[in-house]
A = this chain, B = another copy of it.
Amino acid sequence: MATIKDVAKLAGVAVSTASYALNGTKKISDSTKQKVITAAKELNYQKNGYAMDLKMNKTKIIALILSDLIGPFYSELIQGVQEVVMEHGYDLIVCSSYGDESSTAAKFLREKRADGVILFAHNIETQLIQDSVRKGFPIVVLDRDLSDYEDIISVNVNNEHGSYIAAKYLIDQGSKNIAFVSGPKKSIDSQLRLEGFKRALKEHNLPYYSKWNINGKFTKDGGYQATKMLIHQGQLPDAVFYANDEMAIGGIEALKENHIDIPNQVSVIGFDDIQLAPYIQPPLTTVKQPKYEMGKLSSHLIFQVLEGEDVQNFYSLETEMIIRDSVQRSF
């Protein structure tokens, strides 16, 4: 591969001249400029990205790190981020945190392979995030509250409250025996949703049975398996609250297989409001997370930091109840 040196040599000028000509950094006589450009074309010269990054100490890349590239949850988030990133003339890359400490995510964070990072990956340890903090390297976390660390910006959704509202809705519609299918133990989001659920139960003097709290994996299959367990336990609840929509969809499948009518025998409620939610049968009642707004806000914050502005390091966003047909209505 041709380097700028080769170009300069072929054009018969010095390296710096070639650099100026190619980048338009400085006025260069038109004739020399032409010579350089012709030489570059002839050699099919392409600048080496790594070298420039090293020299400039910046990439103009923002990295969005997700625990799962393939989940349907993220598309709106990505869209929000992408719009802002592009407006600023930066590039966006998305990578997965699959593999925990040895993941792509860890590499990008630790080795600062982007100018800023937005993180939505429950499997990344807080310690790793802290270790990656550097001056002028904005990090936004979406799935936990790290506002104790002033160099990390936390943008959170009020999971506890959203979950409380959902549980309250279930209770208001007449449910008394509600099962809760959690996500991964490590997920703070899932923990907070369970807490909101418990609070609603308590406030309405309804007992919480731990046998009705099953763990899933935030995937369709996780919800399916958890629901099967629930069914095999014998006594059916009159409602199931899934900590995310994907699990709810898997759950609905399991329920249908066992000829359990939704919502007449069992009400189902989810969390997230993914794009699929309105399409399944029955259309899923759920709690909408402001995913697009999260994306926009997070990336705005990144650029504010990059431009040297002071920003708060904690933001909280509210959820919204989306009522469809998977919960039996009492009126």
Q: Interface of A with B (CB < 8 Å)?
A: 1, 44, 46-54, 57, 59, 61, 63, 69-72, 75-76, 78-79, 82, 86, 91-96, 98-99, 103-104, 107-108, 110-113, 131-132, 134-135, 275-276, 279-281
Task: Contacts A92-B96, A93-B94 given; indicate if A72 touches B275 (C-beta within 8 A).
Answer: yes
In the complex the two chains form, is B112's CB within 8 Å of A48's CB? yes
The answer to whether A131 and B46 have CB atoms under 8 Å apart is yes
The smallest beta-carbon distance between A252 and chain B, in angstroms, is: 10
Instruction: Name the B residues within 8 Å of A94 (CB-CB).
Output: 69, 93-95
A214 to chain B, nearest CB (A): 24
C-alpha gap A57/B82 in the complex (Å): 29
Inside 8 A of A279's CB, which chain B residues have their CB? 276, 279-281
Q: How far is the CB of A75 from chain B (nearest CB, A)?
A: 4
With A131-B46, A132-B46, A279-B276 known as contacts, the answer to whether A82 contacts B54 (CB < 8 A) is no
Q: Give bound CA distance, A72 to B275, whole Å.
A: 9
Distance in Å: Cβ of A201 to nearest Cβ of chain B: 31
| Pairwise interchain contact B70-A86, C-beta atoms closer than 8 A | no
Chain B residues contacting A48 (CB-CB under 8 Å) are 54, 111-112
Shortest C-beta distance, A128 to chain B (Å), equals: 11
User: Are B78 and A104 neighbours in the complex by a CB distance under 8 Å?
Assistant: no
Question: A78-B70, A280-B279 given as contacts; is B112 within 8 A of A46 (CB)?
Answer: yes
Chain B residues closer than 8 Å to A54, beta-carbon distance: 48, 50-51, 53-54
Q: CA of A135 to CA of B49 in the docked complex: distance in angstroms?
A: 16
How far apart sit A48 and B76, CA to CA, in the bound complex (Å)? 32
Give A80 Cβ to nearest chain B Cβ, in Å: 10
The answer to whether A72 touches B69, judged by C-beta atoms less than 8 angstroms apart, is no
* A49 touching B113 in the complex, CB below 8 Å, given contacts A276-B276, A279-B279: yes
Decide if B70 touches A134 in the complex (CB within 8 Å).
Answer: no
Chain B contacts for A112, CB-based, 8 A: 1, 46, 48-49
In the assembled complex, 20 residue pairs joining A and B whose CB atoms fall closer than 8 Å, in A order, are A1-B135, A46-B110, A46-B112, A46-B134, A48-B54, A50-B59, A50-B113, A51-B54, A54-B54, A69-B78, A69-B94, A70-B78, A82-B96, A86-B99, A91-B104, A93-B94, A275-B276, A276-B276, A279-B279, A279-B281
